[in-house]
Structure 1
């Protein structure tokens, strides 16, 4: 019997942690696709086992990564798992801790598709690469979506319906009213931002949304994965700037109970947002100080 998606993820994670880089390509199907939606400056895509194996081989010896705090979310799709974890890493003499998410599709014991989200800001800071990272961004360099914008089509109290209402409300500038989608004792974090505070409670969410955050954005390409835990929904989507300056890839891990968001970990592309809004120097300064 082939290994389950959960088992394949742990084989991959343990191989990386043990530094067995040249063996990792064997975990992927011959025609696999591996995407890094937030890789600076506009995401990346690899096709085929050889390309993936070559990438791993090139990494060997340059960095140490140990996976910690691993949580694997099984979904109602038997081929697909979503894994959240931290890397405790070392680059030369410098150590760091960074957040990661993988959306992994496994068939017949092999990875056929993976969408990998990493904290590129934290990893660049660890190798003194923030200036080089900033140089990769240029306004208007990201391809703009041509797909329809997200609309509210699912039942309003369903997990997907709540996510649709949230994204639709953000892009229409509903501001503080969006706090009504969250529970009174909600807990929201932004793991890829170096200084974003933990938001606890509806009042803090109301203040967070009050400036009509996102009114210049359009939400596209929403894909949701329902967890086997009925309260869990994982969402991937893109925000596109209305002025055509940038595109942001995002992944949210959200828990919803009785039609209200109780917890959410929002893995947003803060690098691309800062580059597109001329606030990248401030973000890099925050990363240096963190």
Structure 2
């Protein structure tokens, strides 16, 4: 089998979510993959290893109450950026914009860092340094 390109890997990853087919994640995640989710804010959850990352993403794919929708994908070498929306309910305010910064090595996802706009307010620097 030839090694999949970064574009092929990211396309298959996104299709797992848009098609609701967690089986597409099979053999897509590197043994030493590191994934950082967007929640809980501000640092997210760190998940390490093929089994743990695949399990985490499978749970998200299988959650029929939510919807992950890629908006734009930019691929450059072994890196990909996925701009997305994530709907977590039926209300007008129950969605969020975010981005995943991905790294693919030898045809598998080696790193996935998730970032999103968060609820709440970040204090200005002058407040956080005690001034």
Fold match by TM threshold 0.5: yes
| Pairing partner for 1:106 from 101, 104, 107 | 104
Following superposition, the deviation at residue 22 of structure 1 comes to 4.7
Q: For residues 71 and 50 of structure 1, what CA distance do their matches in structure 2 show?
A: 27
Contact in 1 for aligned 2:102/2:109 (Cα 8 Å): yes
Aligned to 2:49: 48
- After superposition, the Cα gap between the structure-2 partners of 1:18 and 1:116, relative to the gap in structure 1 and judged at 3 Å, is same
Alignment length (residue pairs): 124
- Alignment partner of 2:55: what SS? helix
Following superposition, the deviation at residue 215 of structure 1 comes to 3.8
Aligned to 1:67: 69
Following superposition, the deviation at residue 84 of structure 1 comes to 1.3
Contact in 1 for aligned 2:98/2:114 (Cα 8 Å): yes
Contact in 1 for aligned 2:12/2:24 (Cα 8 Å): no
Aligned to 2:126: 216
Aligned to 2:85: 86
Following superposition, the deviation at residue 7 of structure 1 comes to 2.2
CA RMSD of aligned residues (A): 2.9
Q: Which structure dedicates a bigger proportion of its chain to helix?
A: 1
Question: Where does the alignment leave 5 or more consecutive residues of structure 1 unmatched?
Answer: 122-133, 135-192, 194-212, 218-240, 244-290
Following superposition, the deviation at residue 4 of structure 1 comes to 2.0
- Alignment partner of 1:102: what SS? strand
Q: For residues 22 and 118 of structure 1, what CA distance do their matches in structure 2 show?
A: 26
- Alignment partner of 1:15: what SS? helix
Q: Which has the larger radius of gyration?
A: 1
Aligned positions of 1:212-251 closer than 5 A: 214-216=124-126, 241-243=128-130
- Alignment partner of 1:26: what SS? coil
- With structure 1 as the length reference, what TM-score do the two structures score? 0.37
Contact in 1 for aligned 2:15/2:24 (Cα 8 Å): no
Answer yes or no: is 1:21 the counterpart of 2:22. yes
- With structure 2 as the length reference, what TM-score do the two structures score? 0.74
Q: For residues 28 and 52 of structure 2, what CA distance do their matches in structure 1 show?
A: 13
Following superposition, the deviation at residue 98 of structure 1 comes to 2.6
- Alignment partner of 2:27: what SS? helix
